[in-house]
Amino acid sequence: MVRRRVRRSSILHRLPALAVCVACLAARADPPPAPAPGLAAAVAPYAGVARRLIEAARQEPSAWTRLAELTDTFGHRLSGSESLEAALRWAAGEMKKDGLDNVRLEPVTVPRWVRGRESAALVAPVRHELAMLGLGNSVGTPPEGIEAELVIVRDFDELQRLGPAGVKGRIVLFDVPFTTYGETVVYRSTGASRAARLGAIAMLLRSVGPIGLRTPHTGALRYADDAPKIPAASIAVEDAQRLRRLRERGLTLRVRLRMQARFEADALSANLVGEIVGREAPHEIVLVGGHLDSWDVGTGAMDDGGGCVMTWQALRLVRRLGLRPRRTLRVVLFTNEENGLRGALAYRDRHAAELSDHVAALESDSGAFPPLGFGFSGVDAARTVIRDAARLLEPIGATRIGESGGGADVSPLAAAASVPTLSLDVDGARYFIYHHTQADTIERLSAEDLASGSAAVAVMAYVLADLPQRLPRRSAP
């Protein structure tokens, strides 16, 4: 995902306070399309609805409140954990209370990776406990741990230059400075197998993120079939830099790693689905959603509790205003995005027969920060519609349309049936400081930003679900 460093405070909370209750908003008739100068003819009739959804989002504090309840009550929600299943049951009950239609849990079998106890320490020439987190899907060490000389490399090229002679029997640390997530994360996902091919017995990784407060970042690794599976963990940026400085003074470093990480038997989980059934074409679907599972650190408030709550809130706002679009609005809270994607694949398979009627799929999984607009992947004719619809979001500044959009959970729909996909794009300047760390808690997020994001999703999804014409798409592959 492309991340841009754009600073913008939320405009929504600076709008003048309007002493209007949500029920009053619902009762008010849409103004005629005329007072929307400059809007494309197709979206002009939605100017009034968009304004009412934005006002309702601002007055309805429940997105932040609901996210706080989710994260305080259930904590983190790793696949296979009881907390994820309890959170799913709670969210299903709340969706029913919201008056959404057809609320159901669609079963998905998910992997159960368990971290267990873990530690890493520099043991020579000085003792120093490293701030570490095992990487998701990693194997563990023997109970007594692994102790070996540490080899530090900047990138894969340096690793290859060392070759087996420099790596065999040692622990490799990838000390790779963070540039973008896309560029740097490849060391997390493939570094262990690359080091293992040269004979390394464990892998450490400088956390994938900018410098934080000595916070290690977890995340998934992927073992290659042709390499031994070695234990892998990330360490705080500060610890990686200290190890490098010690090494550059000519010292030989020894590190001990202990990890109980393991897979247990697969567990039963679910995708949670709720709808507002369309009034004219109920079989045509505009999907919005995020993933309810998280890593087992922090409380998954940002990744991706916020995305779940905002997309869910979008339907709630539509319902609160008494609106029923032409097509069906469907919110899906996916399971197992972080370490398996089995929720997304199960959704694709279960709904295979109706994918050609998925008009668009919008995922929010970039943090609940001030919305800037949407990423979009689809044909040019559809992009024009999306761009026009986003202009309705000028009051909250979410009008930008990025070159590509979607997300891990909706990408299988695009691949299988050319479903046009969108992502809610936000000011991501702070996202990777907290991503997959103990610091991913609700304190990172504001009620104003959650309200703005909910409004942005509500307006875009409602317009796509209600336009007389379906969003254009290329024919299925």
Catalytically active residues are 337
Can you tell me which residue has the tokens 């010292």? 251
The region of 205-213, 227-235, 302-310, 420-428 touching Zn ion under the rule CB under 5 A is 302-310
Q: How far is the CB of 291 from Zn ion (least distance, A)?
A: 6
H helix intervals, 40-155: 47-59, 62-74, 82-97
Do residues 451 and 58 touch, judged by C-beta distance below 8 A? yes
Q: How far is the CB of 435 from Zn ion (least distance, A)?
A: 8
Nearest residue (CB) to Zn ion, 64 versus 181 = 181
Nearest residue (CB) to Zn ion, 64 versus 334 = 334
The region of 206-214, 218-226, 359-367, 443-451 touching Zn ion under the rule CB under 5 A is 359-367
Q: How far apart are CA 264 and CA 270, in angstroms?
A: 18
Out of 296, 303, 427, 466, the only residue in the binding site for Zn ion (CB under 5 A) is: 303
DSSP tag of 317 = H
Contact residues for 351 (Cβ-Cβ < 8 A; gap 6+): 358
User: What is the token pair recorded at 374?
Assistant: 């949407």
The number of residues that bind Zn ion (CB under 5 A) is: 3
**What is the pattern of x (binds Zn ion, CB under 5 A) and - over residues 151-170?**
--------------------
The region of 61-69, 252-260, 296-304, 447-455 touching Zn ion under the rule CB under 5 A is 296-304
- Please report whether residue 296 would count as binding Zn ion according to CB under 5 A: no
Nearest residue (CB) to Zn ion, 130 versus 368 = 368
Q: How far is the CB of 472 from Zn ion (least distance, A)?
A: 29
Nearest residue (CB) to Zn ion, 75 versus 395 = 75
User: What is the token pair recorded at 153?
Assistant: 């490399």
Torsion angles phi and psi, residue 255, rounded to 5: -125, 140
Out of 238, 304, 388, 425, the only residue in the binding site for Zn ion (CB under 5 A) is: 304
Q: How far is the CB of 181 from Zn ion (least distance, A)?
A: 11
Q: Which of 385, 332, 383 is nearest to 355 (CA)?
A: 332
Out of 85, 365, 425, 427, the only residue in the binding site for Zn ion (CB under 5 A) is: 365
Whether the link from the prior residue into 425 is cis, omega within 30° of 0, is: no
Q: How far is the CB of 344 from Zn ion (least distance, A)?
A: 12
Do residues 284 and 470 touch, judged by C-beta distance below 8 A? yes
Cα torsion through 463, 465, 470, 473, rounded to 10: 90
Q: Which of 108, 77, 109, 101 is nearest to 90 (CA)?
A: 77
Nearest residue (CB) to Zn ion, 52 versus 436 = 436
Distances (CA, A) of 156 to 149, 163, 298: 19, 11, 31
Nearest residue (CB) to Zn ion, 304 versus 449 = 304
The region of 127-135, 178-186, 303-311, 439-447 touching Zn ion under the rule CB under 5 A is 303-311
Q: How far is the CB of 440 from Zn ion (least distance, A)?
A: 10
The region of 124-132, 257-265, 311-319, 357-365 touching Zn ion under the rule CB under 5 A is 357-365
Torsion angles phi and psi, residue 7, rounded to 5: -100, 130
Rg value, the chain, Cα: 24
Binding site for Zn ion (CB under 5 A): 303-304, 365
